[in-house]
Structure 1
Amino acid sequence: MSAANVKSALETGLYIRTPLIKSAPLSKLTGKDVYIKLDCLQPSGSFKDRGMANLCQTLQSTKGTQKLIASSGGNAGLAVATVAPKKGMTVSVVVPESTKPNVIERLKALGAEVTVHGKIWNEADLLARQRVDEDPQAEYVSPYDNQLLWTGHSTLVDEVMEDLPQVGAVIVGVGGGGLMCGVLEGLERHGQTSSKVIACETEGAASFCKSWLKSPPALIRLDTISSIATSLGALEVTQVAIDRSLKHQENGGTVQAAICTDKEAVEACLQFSSDHRIMVEPACGAGLAALYSERLRKQTLEGVEGPIVVEICGGSGVNLSLLNMWKKDLGIE
């Protein structure tokens, strides 16, 4: 995203500059300076507005695109349905059956045409691609696998670096790898090559972490998604997430995989809501669990020098009823 595109996207409200605040509870818990980047405050509820802003603006200015067909487990669909109409574009979104009803209702309220298809995102994506092939006026929108998205997501690092002189570690949740690619792109652009990036997933959706933990790291495809963190539900991450992680390590940085349980993710969501009065979904809780879970905290803090930034990626698949349901189902006291 060029400087001109960033300024234009911000001025037209396609996404917002989000706060970076020091977390007193997390700093006390870890003995480190911990900052939270509140992308849960983006208009659609997640960081994905950043990438969609760049994608929509670029497609319209270079191709004159007016119609988008997207596949999504929820957050990417909400982002494109929030951003694209501001550019006068129409949006169709194909979502899997695992998508929460409140997300589907929000998509419809934003004016998107919604189709529910397939048990998991990958099946919904096949239908979205088929529809694009049949409609020469439409452009396909991936929820994570596009350079325009990654560059848009990298703006969060630009903002962090305006507030902090250096970053010791960045904690991110990983679904398809789009956020991971953006963070690594931003860190490289700002010369933060020695920083640690902690990639977080739940056990039933750990497509990146399992790929990264192979020796040597290599892309793997999960058989199924078996986690309540459905926003992380890509059977396979983009290869670029692996490639950029390898490059980051070659440049002197560290990339660490952190896999939590669904219970740890939800416990982190609950504690975060108590500490900061903000609700986030389990996909975001996976990143928070890297610090809230004593088991994971011992691993993730090792070797970190300098401030820790937790990307509060947000997510709209959460409300008080769902948090209470997950708490009950997982036997959380």
Structure 2
Amino acid sequence: MPSSPSAHAISAEDVGKARRLLEGQIQRTPMLPSPRLSALTGAEVFVKYENMQTTGSFKERGAYVKLAGLTADERRRGVVAMSAGNHAQAVAFHASRLGIPATIVMPEATPLVKVENTRGYGATVVLHGATLVESEERTRQLMAEQGLVLVHPYDDPAVMAGQGTVALEMLAEAPGLDTLVIPIGGGGLCAGCAVAARSVSPSIRLVGVEAALYPSFVNAIDGGQRPIGGPTLAEGIAVKTVGALTLPIVRDLVEEILLVDEAAIESAVNAYATLARTMAEGAGAAGLAALLAAPDRFRGRKVGLVLCGGNIDARLLASIMVRELEREARISSFRVTVQDRPGLLGQIASRLGELGANILEVSHGRLFLDVPAKGVSLDLTIETRDAAHTEAVLDALARDGLNPRRIERRSQF
């Protein structure tokens, strides 16, 4: 088990104080066993549903603790934060509740729904820069010009202590957990939970999870030079620079950090939606993605997952679910090229019905040069029970003389 130096930015006592401060101020989110996710992963899975906070993520904990600890003068001056999503909404919401003026600096390309949600909680939104790095520069300017107090998204002791209350609740409600799997962006959640968990269960196994495109902590800990950057579904943990305060805690208390690729994150988002009947954004699903990507590391263990956020665009969720059906070969597309004749499409449709397949889409092609003058090319997209059923359907069509050829399908979403 890693060591527990006393020089860390927060202690177990700080997390305990934060827990008392948060009583009655945020949702007490459920911590529930998930038999279907357990069957999927081979571990005994329990999920902490932080997506059920008012603003949809765990960020409310740290934001409230930081804001509640401000002096009267600091409250009067107001606060500023840089964020493209969950932290922005959490600070805006609780600042409004406490009567504290809040300014949120967001990148110019932030989705409109997130901008409007943040404004809806009463904050002044400043759109600046293409990235959070540029937004942070503007944030520092506002601090200097207006005397605003910074509410950092992760590298702040009060914020870290607030996030650590997640682990206290998890271990109180499922005391037999032997493993916690925690997404890592800047490290506030992971560091806070690590301090809290070690104080309650010193031998508990702590595993962090980063998006493979953003291996910032892995690089910082092992001195690696892995490339950082790129479009990721887990934008909530897509951080290029780790926290100066969070790094020592993660390095000292967390056994390992796993990197998960985009396909695993998509599969985890889909699994939460279809098996747990709940919404998870990419970062929120990162812990489950680790179980899917490295099942041998968790098989047979009693694992606590933090579903840390559920703010995912509905259109994106729909696309992910369709893509997962395609990965599982439950939606497949194929082409048949045959001699054109009356009733052909009806005959093929009837045959697919006999085989138990559902037709989702059909496209005729008579004018392609690779199709005989008296022929027709039919592209069909079908839905089946599973990959084995798909193969059985295509084999049957081949025996019928249709010679189906698989084609890649572009999602309509």
Q: TM-score, normalised by structure 1?
A: 0.86
Call closer, same or farther: CA 1:55–1:225 in 2, change over 3 Å.
farther
Aligned-pair distance for 1:41? 0.7
Q: Does 1:196 align with 2:196?
A: no
Q: Deviations over 1:233-266 (max 9, x none)?
A: 2211113333113322xxxxx5222111122211
**Partners of 2:74 and 2:113 in 1: CA distance:** 33
Give SS of 2:56's match.
Answer: coil
Give the distance between the partners of 2:226 and 2:240, measured in 1 at CA: 5
- CA shift in 2, pair 1:195/1:61, >3 Å: farther
Judge which range, 159-168 or 1-10, deviates more: 1-10
AA at the equivalent of 2:255: V
SS of 1:148's equivalent in the other structure is helix
Per the alignment, in what secondary structure is the counterpart of residue 220 of structure 2? Answer: helix
Contact 1:40 1:313 in 2 (8 A): yes
- Show CA shifts across 1:55-81 (max 9, x none): 010014684455111101211001101
Match of 1:230 among 225, 229, 235: 235
Tell whether the 8 Å contact from 2:83 to 2:153 is kept in structure 1 after alignment: yes
Distance of 2:224 and 2:189 partners within structure 1: 17
Equivalent residue number for residue 169 of structure 1:
179
Indicate the SS of the match to 2:68. helix
With over 3 angstroms needed to count, the CA separation of the structure-2 counterparts of 1:193 and 1:222, relative to structure 1, is farther
Conservation of the 8 A alpha-carbon contact between 1:225 and 1:234: no
1:111-159 Cα deviation digits (max 9, x unpaired): 21112222221221111111111112x2011111100001011111221
Measured against aligned partners, the alpha-carbon deviations of 1:214-250 in whole angstroms (never above 9, x if no partner) come to 2xxx4979654432322112211113333113322xx
The residue type paired with residue 247 of structure 1 is: D
* Aligned partner letter, 2:307: I
- Structure 2 Cα separation of the partners of residues 38 and 49 of structure 1: 13
**How many Å apart are 1:314 and its aligned residue?**
1.0
Q: Is the contact between residue 23 and residue 34 of structure 1 (CA under 8 Å) also seen in structure 2? A: yes
Gaps of 5+ in 1: 249-253
Q: How far apart are the structure 1 equivalents of 2:29 and 2:321?
A: 29
Q: State the percentage of identical aligned residues.
A: 25
Matched, 1:118 2:129: yes
Which consecutive unaligned segments of at least 5 residues does structure 2 have? 1-13, 329-413
SS in 2 for 1:153: helix
What is the aligned partner in structure 2 of residue 258 from structure 1? 258
User: Is 1:75 aligned to 2:90, yes or no?
Assistant: no
Count of matched residue positions in the alignment of Structure 1 and Structure 2: 314
Task: Summarize the alignment of residues 203-282 of structure 1 with structure 2, pairs less than 5 Å apart.
Answer: 203-212=212-221, 214=222, 218=223, 224-248=229-253, 255-282=255-282
2:84·2:114 contact (CA, 8 Å) conserved in 1? no
Distance 1:174 1:67, change over 3 A: same
Cα distance per residue 1:259-310 (max 9 Å; x no partner): 111222112101111011111111112221112x2x3222x317x75x2100
Contact map agreement 2:76 2:101 (CA 8 A) in 1: no
Cα distance change of structure 1 residues 131 and 219 upon mapping to structure 2, 3 Å threshold: farther
1:320 shift after superposition: 2.2
- RMSD between aligned alpha carbons? 2.5
More helix by share: 1
Contact 2:105 2:136 survives alignment (8 Å): yes
Amino acid in the other structure paired with 1:241: T
Distance, in Å, in 2 between the alignment partners of 1:62 and 1:196 is 42
Q: Give the Cα separation in 2 of the matches to 1:41 and 1:27.
A: 21
Q: Deviation of residue 173 (structure 1)?
A: 1.0
Relative distance call for 1:94 and 1:263 in structure 2 (3 A) is same
Aligned counterpart for 1:103 among listed residues 109, 114, 121: 114
2:100 aligns to what? 89
1:120 to 1:221, Cα distance in 2 relative to 1, 3 A: farther
**TM-score relative to the length of structure 2:** 0.70
Kindly name which structure, 1 or 2, has the bigger radius of gyration based on alpha carbons: 2
Corresponding position of 1:10 = 23
SS at match of 2:137: helix
Q: Which has the higher contact order (CA 8 A, sep 6+)?
A: 1
Mark the CA change 1:124 to 1:329 in structure 2 (over 3 Å): closer, same or farther. Answer: farther
Question: Kindly tell me: are residues 156 and 2 of structure 1, through their superposed partners in 2, closer, same or farther at Cα, counting changes over 3 Å?
Answer: closer
